[in-house]
Structure 1
Amino acid sequence: MKKQLLPNFPPGPLDRYRNLASFDWRKLKLFIEPAEIVEFKNEIVELLKGNPAFHPKKLETLDDVRRDASLQMHEGFYLQEFKYLGMLDNLRKVPAFGEIAVWSNPSVSVKNALNNSMYPSVIRALGTEKHLDLIEKVWQGEHFGCFCLTEIGHGTDTKRMRTRATYDKESKGFIMHTPDFEAAKCWAGLLGQTATHAIVYAQLYTPDGTCHGLHQFVVQIRDVKTMQPLPGITVGDMGPKIGLNGIDNGFLIFNNFHVSRDALLNKNADVNEEGVYVTPFKDANKRFGASLAALSDGRINITNLCNAYLIQGLTIAVRYAAVRKQFGPDGNEIPILEYQTHQHRLLPYLAGAFTFKFFSLHVCLEQHTTFVNNLNGKQREDAVEYGFEMHGISSACKPVISWFMMEALNEFRQACAGHGYLKAAGIGDLRNDADANCTYEGENHVLNQQTSNWLLKFWPQILEGKIIKGPMESIDYLSHGKEILADKFAVDSVEHIIRPEYILRMYKWLVVYLLKSSYEKYERSLKEGNDAFWAKNNNQVYYARSLSVAYLNHYMLHIFLKRINETEDPKVRNVLERLFALYGLFTLERSLGHLYQGGFFVGEKPATLVQDAVLKLCGDLKNDAVSLIDCIAADDFLIKSFMGKSDGKVYEHLQNELMGGEGNMSRPNWWKEVLHWGKQSKL
């Protein structure tokens, strides 16, 4: 008999809130993810449950953790016969797969993304036919690949990388060399212990001594049979980290190491046998930009992964809040979810999770569809405009969502109080593993600046009255920038301010105001004698950084509202509109200074209405919180917390943890030393 797609949850303490929900959780669940995606995720979970490699186990050493992660990467849904399960036939499965991977083991999800996705996709995007067999060998498990861009002395400033690849006419190949330790490649996942091959970014020199800038090479670094480094290669591990220790991040040093001419990924540039550099790009910056295109894909995927972390933390914190009781009127204790302060600590982040969910599904589908079409030779007609806009979106969404996620996870840890500090609560490990998302694939503040630099070019176009339009619809409203900036706050009730259209109207004003202010400050700085570098650098705090955040928040809400308008069930629509309004107003409240500074808000009333609306929405969503979590939560098998199970039996699960924990009920093996110390102290 086929298992029910969405079975009832087990009875327990959470029934109190499930029975109070204003909507049918199954209808919302299937609106977010259609039945075929739910079925796909269920199938993966069943596979994991049936494979011992994915069952919880005690891992005492770093080596244990690494071995476990490696086994998991090659077991279960990572096996060749199951890999991607026809995901290219339904691209909605790609973010679903990524979500399950994070919930199963964050380290494994990253290892899999690097080896099975990023490494082969860069080869496919930047290599030619002669490199395609390298992709097959990865998918057949013969090679393990990694991505080496960052160096000890340089990370985000990629153009300053110092690893060299010098063409040697005599051997018809390249000599890879690391001039000193600061030029060593570092932090590459799988490099430390696992990778046999690496995509290495190096400065390409031709025999005449000319440096042609950063290029990509596929380099074998270990013997595929012995896993020992090849002569001329020094490779090692970065050591224990504060999280994601299942990933063997490593460093790499070349000592005049020879590779063949075919090691160069030569789609965008090549060196012929005589050592002459050839490229179809007249502008070196455009060639360089094309070489980093894979990083935009990575940032889009990271937004989906960040939301998976956020959902996992929310599941633990909200379900615990619905069960944990403290104080109350008439001597009766009440769940802490009933307290306004606790609602305000959790529910805006729940609203954020739904906002991010719809946004990430939208942009991931758009990006994956474009990628697959490119593979099939179907280039977008608006490819250039799409590339610029997607770069702006991806450079803003990773910072906004990863910062929000880390803020939320820290709040969840504290909201779960003492029990939340236990490792078995799961929040600490979740927080430590999630933290890296703020750094890899581009440091957040630098990424933010890339978005603001792109947006600044639109202000002169606004003044000239030009039509501004993007394939992703994230900038179209800027065409009306002058009219938007003339707008003023014009509502007098909470009921009015929570309307989605009005929240978007306020956000449009905020974006245009910050765009104008950032541009004018930049121009003033230039007139004061600063060069463009310092003018942009000194424009970030209060202005350009806030511009990127506001731009992305508006766009996410724009996508969210489009999806809301597709709902047919009025109860589902109602709860989604409340989530929309809560995220919109919660984040707008953080910009009260700009809203007053620019004259959109005047007097006490606007800020009071925003704050009153946030609290009202928290109260209105309180009874729906558990069922909203039910729509997006992981299966119990993947919830590594005694607090977050769907049965709500927090104390029963905690008792099992405490009573069954190794060493919890026995004296330590060093008990005699304590007694000995006590006798000594009395002398």
Structure 2
Amino acid sequence: MAKFNVLQDFKRGPLDLYRQQASFCWKKLKVFLDTEEVVNYQNDLYTELLSHLDYLSSDPIHSLSFDEERRLACRQNFIYKSIELLSIPYLIQNLKFPAAATRIMMQLSPSSTIKFSVTDSLFTNVIRTLGTERHEHFLTEAEEGQIIGCYGLTEVAHGSNVKGMQTTATYNKENRSFVVNSTSFEAAKCWVGGLGQMATHAIVYAQLYTENTHQGLHCFVVPVRDPKTLLPYPGVTVGDMGEKIGLNGIDNGFVMFNNYEIPKENLLNKLGDVTDNGQYVTPFRDPNKRHGAALGALSVGRVTITALCEAYGVKGLTIAIRYSAVRKQFGPDNSPEVPLLEYQTHQYRLLPYLAAAYVLRIFSSKLFEDQYQFAIDSALGNNKEKLPELGTELHAVSSASKPIAGWTMRDAIQECRECCGGHGYLKAARLGDIRNDHDANLTYEGENHVLIQQTANWLIKLWPLVLKGQRIATPLRSVDFLTDGLKILGGVTWKAGNVEEVCQPEIIMSIYQWLVCYLLKSTHDKLENLLAKKDVFWAKNDNQVFHAKNLSIAFIQHFMLQTMLETIQVAPSPEIKAVLTKLFALYGLFSLETYHMTSLYQGEMARGSTPATLIRDAILRLCSELKGEAVALVDVLAPPDFVLNSPLGASDGEVYKRLQSAIFGSPYAMRRPDWWQDITNWKVNVLKGKL
């Protein structure tokens, strides 16, 4: 029996009206989703963070200067490094801890969290995953603070197209070294987090050449600055990218190399190595398997971003939903004003995204565990035969989950901002900061529209297996249902006759499975037709809109729903199972209405007006049924008030008291400006025609 004394009751206040309507115990749901171990871990980490004043100095009213923001993020980053609860040894004790830690840190301080993730976690994880015992000294030096790492893949002229990277590393057998070169400014590594001002060492992806033979893209540890002086080494040009839309605490940088020599041992050699005499060797006979194992290591960023999108979205939804439960506007004649949450339009604007947040929370937590297990197995040499296939699937899944999570939470955060009206536009509300910081998720670690093509490319290769009737089974089971693909397509029929039926999980899952099969077949068939007229590149290019992109979206939404349904099936009580099932149905149906209605009719799964009417009626009914649960549902996911730091979304619901404090607390609120005489002089001079 779970113990719930680790979760404190919320202070009584204006939100009680809705908290008392909840059909479930929010504490039981939180412990079910996170586990008691994770809840205890979260509480311990919050307590630790509260002991550091640097995490309590965030001013929601004013922006820091560029340099102040950098300095604070740098200091917070080093504090993270000092916290045992965030150390790699501690996190791998329980594979649920890393996702929980990332969410907490990201919601509290995005810039320093990304700096920490890149300079500590990503830098060291890549070395653990792709390196060998000869690279252990880098891990020790990073852990002891002797060096500061970063991760350099993207170049000025190449981002998602990693095969087009222009940085080269040519082996020189005369002195057993690699000569690293940037062919031009286009080859400069850029947008590298932590490189702009502080990194001393970089993970650099470069085209490997041995004996005038191109061996493909490989990974190197490259020293870029002297750790004692932070001055660049000769042959290295390194600098800062400058101010950005958001996340300015991160010192994104660029670096160029001019005949810069690094030791031979700095090649991360688990997947491929070079002998002293210049011969290239690899443990993989099949180059595709080496590529698959490498893809798994590259997926960690996209897996993390999938979780970050949910973390940002939860902050925005907590603010907007709590505010909508307190803010009252209009109402029937001679009656009290009505909370915004009672309006159908407000429910439709917010609650489908709340459902999406739950789907993403459950899915990203599971994906995080899978990715961490992959990294552990890669580092320890476990399951060597299975890693390439798992790495390929992780790449395909994360290449779709990152875009759909980013797009969904982008829309959610913008809707939250608008749902809070003018008050939502205040900096103190924090919604603007959340929106701007989240915006980077739509681009880094791969531009979304390019990434999602890679998922489609993987799926298309499976269609010939479906046609042959072969059994399809992958490590994550994301496409196992395709084994019955022809049967699914052959049994096309709309099975729901009323709103209750269209909300049933088995009905929704059957619709998504049909969608994936239908879109896979149509995408494959169109590609075959285009290949008869064009080369492969242009055929794939002209097959994206309405085909490959829609296929990837339907695939990842199905996998997300599949993952949530597995969680629902082990729910600890009927009340929790019921509310999670409603969230499942709302996300599934809202996504059908948003993305796939045309495909349902085009493929003749849906005919006439009934399917569209049922889906829309079901969405509105689910929104109405969930409005009384909404505040308790955000209570489950919401960070503490000191992390949320918004007068509109505090857990006590005292919106107007907190808003008054925020506004009156501004030094500009009732102060005459220092330049007040300019106002009077300009006014007079304008009237006299002298200005």
TM-score by length of 1: 0.97
Counterpart residue type for residue 474 of structure 2: G
1:601 counterpart (592, 601, 606): 606
Partner in structure 2 of residue 39 of structure 1: 40
Is this contact kept in 2: 1:80–1:139, CA < 8 A? no
Is this contact kept in 2: 1:47–1:76, CA < 8 A? no
CA distance in 2, matches of 1:254, 1:376: 33
- What do you get for the CA RMSD once the two structures are aligned? 1.8
CA distance in 1, matches of 2:670, 2:227: 47
The alpha carbon displacement at 1:274 in A equals 3.1
CA distance in 1, matches of 2:565, 2:273: 47
Determine helix, strand or coil for the equivalent of 1:200: strand
Change beyond 3 A, Cα 1:60–1:356: closer
Change beyond 3 A, Cα 1:388–1:176: closer
Unaligned runs of 5+ in 1: none
CA distance in 2, matches of 1:375, 1:133: 15
Moved more, 383-392 or 636-645: 383-392
Determine helix, strand or coil for the equivalent of 1:312: helix
Matched, 1:662 2:680: no
Q: 1:30-52, CA deviations, whole angstroms, 9 ceiling, x for partnerless residues?
A: 11111221111011111111111
Partner in structure 1 of residue 238 of structure 2: 235
Q: 1:182-212, CA deviations, whole angstroms, 9 ceiling, x for partnerless residues?
A: 1111000000001000111112233x43332
Partner in structure 1 of residue 424 of structure 2: 420
Matched, 1:55 2:56: yes
Partner in structure 2 of residue 353 of structure 1: 357
Change beyond 3 A, Cα 1:448–1:200: same
Partner in structure 1 of residue 27 of structure 2: 26
Unaligned runs of 5+ in 2: none
Is this contact kept in 1: 2:400–2:553, CA < 8 A? yes
Is this contact kept in 1: 2:27–2:636, CA < 8 A? yes
Determine helix, strand or coil for the equivalent of 1:259: strand
Is this contact kept in 1: 2:293–2:388, CA < 8 A? no
Percent of pairs with identical residues: 49
Determine helix, strand or coil for the equivalent of 1:329: coil
Counterpart residue type for residue 195 of structure 2: L
The alpha carbon displacement at 1:277 in A equals 3.1
Is this contact kept in 1: 2:329–2:340, CA < 8 A? yes
Determine helix, strand or coil for the equivalent of 2:157: coil
Q: 1:568-622, CA deviations, whole angstroms, 9 ceiling, x for partnerless residues?
A: 3111111111111100100011211000011010101110000000000000000
Partner in structure 1 of residue 205 of structure 2: 201
CA distance in 2, matches of 1:374, 1:176: 27
Partner in structure 1 of residue 644 of structure 2: 639
1:338 counterpart (332, 342, 354): 342
Q: 1:391-448, CA deviations, whole angstroms, 9 ceiling, x for partnerless residues?
A: 2211111111111011111111111110001111111100111111111111111111
Is this contact kept in 2: 1:459–1:515, CA < 8 A? yes
Q: 1:63-110, CA deviations, whole angstroms, 9 ceiling, x for partnerless residues?
A: 100110111111157435863572211111110001101111111111
Partner in structure 2 of residue 269 of structure 1: 272
Determine helix, strand or coil for the equivalent of 1:535: helix
Determine helix, strand or coil for the equivalent of 1:661: coil
CA distance in 2, matches of 1:281, 1:326: 66
Q: 1:617-644, CA deviations, whole angstroms, 9 ceiling, x for partnerless residues?
A: 0000000000001111001110021111
Q: 1:157-186, CA deviations, whole angstroms, 9 ceiling, x for partnerless residues?
A: 111111122223333312222221111110
Partner in structure 1 of residue 160 of structure 2: 156
Is this contact kept in 2: 1:344–1:618, CA < 8 A? yes
CA distance in 1, matches of 2:67, 2:79: 18
Is this contact kept in 1: 2:181–2:257, CA < 8 A? yes
Partner in structure 2 of residue 253 of structure 1: 256
Determine helix, strand or coil for the equivalent of 1:203: strand
CA distance in 2, matches of 1:491, 1:289: 41
Counterpart residue type for residue 240 of structure 1: E
1:451 counterpart (444, 451, 455): 455
1:212 counterpart (215, 239, 254): 215
Is this contact kept in 2: 1:148–1:200, CA < 8 A? yes
Partner in structure 2 of residue 305 of structure 1: 308
Determine helix, strand or coil for the equivalent of 1:89: coil
Change beyond 3 A, Cα 1:155–1:628: same
Change beyond 3 A, Cα 1:504–1:57: closer
Partner in structure 2 of residue 121 of structure 1: 125
Change beyond 3 A, Cα 1:440–1:551: same
Partner in structure 1 of residue 112 of structure 2: 108
Moved more, 422-431 or 293-302: 293-302
Counterpart residue type for residue 324 of structure 2: A
Is this contact kept in 2: 1:468–1:479, CA < 8 A? yes
The alpha carbon displacement at 1:3 in A equals 11
Equivalences for residues 163-174 of structure 1 within 5 A: 163-174=167-178
Equivalences for residues 367-406 of structure 1 within 5 A: 367-379=371-383, 382-406=386-410
Matched, 1:144 2:144: no
The alpha carbon displacement at 1:321 in A equals 0.5
CA distance in 1, matches of 2:244, 2:662: 26
Determine helix, strand or coil for the equivalent of 2:523: helix
Change beyond 3 A, Cα 1:57–1:554: closer
1:568 counterpart (565, 572, 582): 572
Moved more, 8-17 or 460-469: 460-469
Moved more, 162-171 or 572-581: 162-171
Is this contact kept in 2: 1:47–1:77, CA < 8 A? no
CA distance in 1, matches of 2:411, 2:354: 13
